[in-house]
Amino acid sequence: MNLTAEDFLNGQVLLIDKPLEWTSFDAVNFLRSFIRKMYNIKKLKVGHAGTLDPLATGLLIICTGKKTKEVDSYQGMDKVYVGSLLMGATTPSFDKETEPDQTFDISHLTPHDIELARQQFIGEINQIPPIYSAIKIEGKRAFEYARKNTEVKMKSRKVTIHDFQLHNIDLPHVDFTVTCSKGTYIRSLVDDFGKVLNNGAYMTDLRRTQIGEYSVKDAYTIEGFKKMIIDQLAI
């Protein structure tokens, strides 16, 4: 792949492995600035096809130029995530962004209980997104209300969980793999999973490995993308 300024303007689909603690917009803004600088492009449209939380890593599909018109088609694709959860506690953000606010005794939980709970989340389900999310409510991001302790009502939405597998169950730690439709919040899935067990759970790790047929195995790290472009331009 030997890219030119014209290629980026006509449109490229870039597979990027988002780093931990970067927002999806951080990745978009960095790539836009970097490409414009390296190719001396005055104006370049760049957008992503599906947000990843700052505490998640993995596959971002980034579109440039005329390809930004196709973002919706990539957003609609099913996604695969791998991650870990911790049983016996909850956090307001459903992940490690906030400190635990409740703890529960998990000594009564059995493998049978956990399996029955898992089965309840296969198929179409109603899900309420986390208040600590980028969803817009009356012009503001939901997390802005959350950080000011302002109560807002999050609307339920229908999502589809095609597959929800649990691995390496070593309570309180559980690893999982989820294949799901667009709009699914894995943090909410983990929180609801804990509730079904009359317990608590929050997400401790998350990585998106696939969007449709696109795999994170084929993605560039930010540093890898920079090196690829710099090496090309040096030839």
CB-CB contact of 222 with 16 (8 Å): yes
Which SS3 state, helix, strand or coil, does residue 180 take? strand
CB-CB contact of 93 with 203 (8 Å): no
State the 10-residue block means of pLDDT for the chain, 235 residues long: 88 96 95 96 94 94 95 94 97 93 94 94 92 64 61 81 95 97 94 96 97 97 96 84
Q: What is the CATH number of domain 5-76+213-234?
A: 3.30.70
Q: Range(s) for CATH 3.30.70 in the chain?
A: 5-76+213-234
**DSSP letter (8 states) at residue 217:** G
pLDDT for the residue 50 = 86
Question: Shortest CA distance to 62 belongs to which of 89, 34, 84?
Answer: 34
pLDDT for the residue 150 = 62
What's the CATH fold of domain 79-211?
A: Pseudouridine synthase (3.30.2350)
Catalytic residue annotation: 53
pLDDT for the residue 67 = 95
pLDDT for the residue 139 = 63
pLDDT for the residue 131 = 72
pLDDT for the residue 148 = 62
Amino acid found at 38: M
The stretches of 131-176 forming alpha helices (DSSP H) are 142-147
Q: How far apart are CA 149 and CA 33, in angstroms?
A: 35
Kindly state the helix (H) or strand (E) to which residue 119 belongs, with its residue range.
helix 111-119
Question: Shortest CA distance to 177 belongs to which of 168, 187, 166?
Answer: 166
